[in-house]
Structures are given as C-alpha cells and as structure tokens.
Amino acid sequence: MAVYEYKGLDGKGKKTDGLVDADSAKAARQKLRKQGVFVTDITEGKAGSKTRSGGSGKKKDKKGGIGSIEIDIAKYFEIIGVADVANATRQLSALLGAGIPLVETLGALSEQVEKEGFRIILREVKTKVNEGSSLADALEDYPKVFTGLYVNMVRAGEQAGALDKVLMRLADYTEAQVELRGKVGAALTYPAVMMLVAFGVIGFLLTYVVPKITKVFRDMGSDLPMITKIVLAVSNFLQAYWWLVIILGVLFAFGFRRWYGTESGRAKVDRALLNMPIFGKMLRLVSIARFSSTLATLMSSGVPLLGAMGIVKKILTNVVLSEAVANAQVAVREGQPMNQPLKESGEFPPMVVHMIAVGERTGELGPMLERVAHTYESQVNRRVETLTALLEPLMILFMGGIVFVIALAVLLPMLQMNQIAGG
C-alpha cells in the first residue's frame, strides 16, 4: 500500500493537504472524496518525505518522522485516551504472540481502532516501521499519545526480543492505572459536585427566599435576633455585591494558577495536599502505588534502574515526591542504594523503604516493588470505598446544618412576634 501526498479543497472550500495511504492514486482520490475532500493534485511519495499541517509547509523533524502535529491530526489528540492506547496495546501483543509480523500487525490494528486520529497515527507508524525504523522510534514521534514510559518499555522489549510479553505487561499496567485513577477521581468528584449544589441552594435561599420573608419583620420595626441579623447581612451583601464576589473569585483563581505555576508555589501546594487530613494520605498512597508499579514494570521489561527512575520521577504529579525520587536517582548514579535517600526524604513510609532495601540486598527489587504496589493499591481501594460511604452522610449533614441556620434565622422572629401578641 503506497502513501500519496495530496492537495485539495474541503467541504467548506478551504485549501487542505496531507497524506493518505491507498493501493493506487485512483483509490486515494475515492478515499478522499468519501471524506469530503476535492483533490486538485495528488502524487505518490514516502510518508516521511514531507511534513504537513493544514498547508503550513513545516519541515520534517530531525528524526525524519512526521512528528506529533501533522496531517492536521492535532485535533484528534485530546480524544485519544489512555484506555484506547491500552486496548490497542493488548491487541498488538496478542497478534505478535500469534506469530504475525509487526508490519502486518500494525496494518491490521489500524483497521480495527475506531477513532480516525488514532487510525492515522497507527498507519504512519506502520509506514515508518516498514521503512526500517524501530517501533519505539516510530512511536516516539507522538509523545501526546505514547508516553515516555510506553516508548522506553517498547524499546526494551525490542532489544530483549520479547516485545509481545512486554506489550502485554504494558497493557496490564495501563489498564490498572486507568482503573485506579477512575476510582480516585470518582471519590473526589462526588464531594465537589455536592459542594457546588450546596452553594447553589444556599445562594438561592440567601438572595431570594430570605429577603422576602424577613422584609415583613423589618417593616414591623421589631428587634431581630442576632442570628437573623447575621443572615440578613450576608443576604444583603450578596444581593448588592454579587458581581464583586464573582470578580474576586476569578481573580483569586487566576492568581492562584499563576502562583501554582511557579516552582515554590507548586512545592508548597503539593506539600499541603499531602498533609491534608483524609485526602492527603490517600493521595500519598496513590502516588506511592504508582511509583512502585511503574518502576517494577519498567525494570521487569528490561529498562535499567537509572533510566526507569528518570521516567518515574516525571510521571509523579506531586513535585515533593518527584524531588525525592530525583534525589534517589542521583544517589543510585553515585553507587549508593536507593532506599537511603528515600528514607531521608521522609516522604515514603518505613514499610516501603524497608521492602526496597530488602529487594536491593537480595537482587529482587522488581518483585518487591510489585508487592508494594499491590499492597498500596489494595489500601487505596479500601480507602476509596470507605470515603465514598462516609461522604454522602457528611455532605447531607453539612447542607442540613446550613439550611437549619437559615430556617432558624427566619423562625425566631416569628416566635418573638407570637410571644408579643400572646402577652
């Protein structure tokens, strides 16, 4: 199957160009016509010969590949999720394990994936491999789809001659990370949504319901209870200065984001997150489970320890833990054991440090890290289940408490009026 370079007009009449693979120029024209492209010029050429991105005329990158933003596929990157990559990886492993050549496997895989952007990427990877590139080098041109961890594991699998086994291990790891991330995300999303609903209900009560009811009491000139005065003051402020609240909120969010973008700001925020009650410990457990499982997966796939640590420190989103791993990497490079700097950082639990030390002494660091990952992933699952079970009643109590205070602020003046009328 050849690759053709084309120029033409899309459905809106705008100029477009790119690459398409087909058996012949006629087949390429028919294929593009189905995609809504009117072809004005088409020539046969190699996939890596030119780089195109909506006619910008960008030159190819130093590796001779088409890079990560050509053929106008940048718009597809955001919808190619980790789960899509994991499914494709498992299928690739199964086909290679069945003895099917890599180029033929990539061709079959490109026809099976559902998303057009992913299909184009896999076809380009197939073309590069067919031209003599290694699979790892071909995948490396798409860093937004295939991470550094993914590429390094594939490269190690190619060098060891066990690519199908490494891909299966990589698929298992990726799916486990997706599942873990989903559980933690669900646990954190619930309270966020409930808080949003709570503030919406409270805002409605304070700006619409309370003023109408308490207006009667103010017109009568009766002395209001303190709690009613406080609620009324908040209500009056929100009615008069709601725009100020919005502006201050936007400014705070913008300022916080700028500050968090600095090195010192992110370090302080990440440390504060780790020290948070309840959530802080869960975030630490998630990070350590990810550190252990990733390092174990890389090492068992043949990636050297120093290279594996360099990858792991980049995937840890918390900079405090990432710096601890970076310091440990420096120590390992100087010939020291990894467990000592991790212990000195104070960020890794004693059990983790002890198991790493045992693994280093016995030469079984990979299996020991797998045990650590399994232990901490189990703890994360239990904590997520417990947290989810506790959050619902806690949020109900919180919302009920606020509504009770507002109701009390309305009812107390009514009780006073009844007492005066009865006296």
Residues 38 and 107 in one domain: no
Would you place residue 221 in the very low, low, confident or very high pLDDT band (cuts 50, 70, 90)?
Answer: low
Question: pLDDT tens digit string along 279-293?
Answer: 788 888 888 888 888
Question: Of 128, 145, 174, which marks where a domain is finished?
Answer: 174
pLDDT computed for residue 78 by the predictor: 45
- 395 domain-assigned: no
At which of 149, 174, 199 does a domain end?
A: 174
Span 102-107, mean pLDDT? Answer: 86
Tell me whether residue 400 is in a domain. no
For residue 420, what pLDDT is reported? 59
- Which is more confident, 410 or 57? 410
pLDDT digits (tens, 9 = 90+) for 133-149: 888 888 888 888 888 77
* Whether residues 285 and 354 fall in one domain: yes
Looking at residue 112, which CATH number applies to its domain? 1.20.81.30
Position 252 in a domain? no
The answer to whether residue 167 is domain-embedded is: yes
Q: Is residue 309 part of a domain?
A: yes
The answer as to whether 100 is a domain residue is yes
User: Which residue range(s) make up the domain with 296?
Assistant: 279-381
Task: State pTM to two decimals.
Answer: 0.61
Whether residue 54 is predicted with pLDDT greater than 70 in this model: the reply is no
Provide the pLDDT for residue 290.
82
Per-residue model confidence (pLDDT) at position 423? 52
Instruction: Report pLDDT for 250.
Output: 93
pLDDT of residue 217: 67
Query: In the predicted model, what is the mean pLDDT of the chain?
Result: 78
- pLDDT of amino acid 318: 87
* Residue 60 domain flag: no
Kindly tell me if the per-residue pLDDT of 69 is higher than 70: no
- Look at residue 52 in the predicted model and tell me its pLDDT: 37
pLDDT digits (tens, 9 = 90+) for 164-210: 888 888 888 778 777 777 777 776 677 778 778 877 877 787 777 77
| pLDDT > 90: percent of the chain | 5
The total domain count for the chain is 3
Q: What is the pLDDT of residues 237-260, one digit of tens each?
A: 888 888 898 899 899 999 999 998
Instruction: For residues 111 and 160, state if they share a domain.
Output: yes
Whether residue 40 is found in the same domain as residue 90: no
pLDDT digits (tens, 9 = 90+) for 302-354: 788 888 888 888 878 888 998 999 999 998 898 888 988 998 888 888 988 99
From 125, 144, 174, give the residue that closes a domain. 174
- The confidence band for 49, taking pLDDT boundaries of 50, 70 and 90, is very low
Q: Are residues 92 and 150 in the same domain?
A: yes
The predicted pLDDT at position 13 comes to: 61
For residue 316, being part of any structural domain is answered with: yes
Which band of pLDDT confidence, cut at 50, 70 and 90, is reported for residue 277?
A: confident
Write the secondary structure of the chain as one string of H (helix), E (strand) and C (coil). Answer: CEEEEEEEECCCCCEEEEEEEECCHHHHHHHHHHCCCEEEEEEEECCCCCCCCCCCCCCCCCCCCCCCCCCCCHHHHCCCCHHHHHHHHHHHHHHHHCCCCHHHHHHHHHHHCCCHHHHHHHHHHHHHHHCCCCHHHHHHCCCCCCCHHHHHHHHHHHHHCCHHHHHHHHHHHHHHHHHHHHHHHHHHHHHHHHHHHHHHHHHHHHHHHHHHHHHHHHHHCCCCCHHHHHHHHHHHHHHHHHHHHHHHHHHHHHHHHHHHCCHHHHHHHHHHHHCCCCHHHHHHHHHHHHHHHHHHHHHHCCCCHHHHHHHHHHHCCCHHHHHHHHHHHHHHHCCCCCHHHHHHHCCCCHHHHHHHHHHHHHCCHHHHHHHHHHHHHHHHHHHHHHHHHHHHHHHHHHHHHHHHHHHHHHHHHHHHHHHHHHC
Mean pLDDT to the nearest integer, 379-392: 78
pLDDT digits (tens, 9 = 90+) for 24-37: 777 777 787 777 77
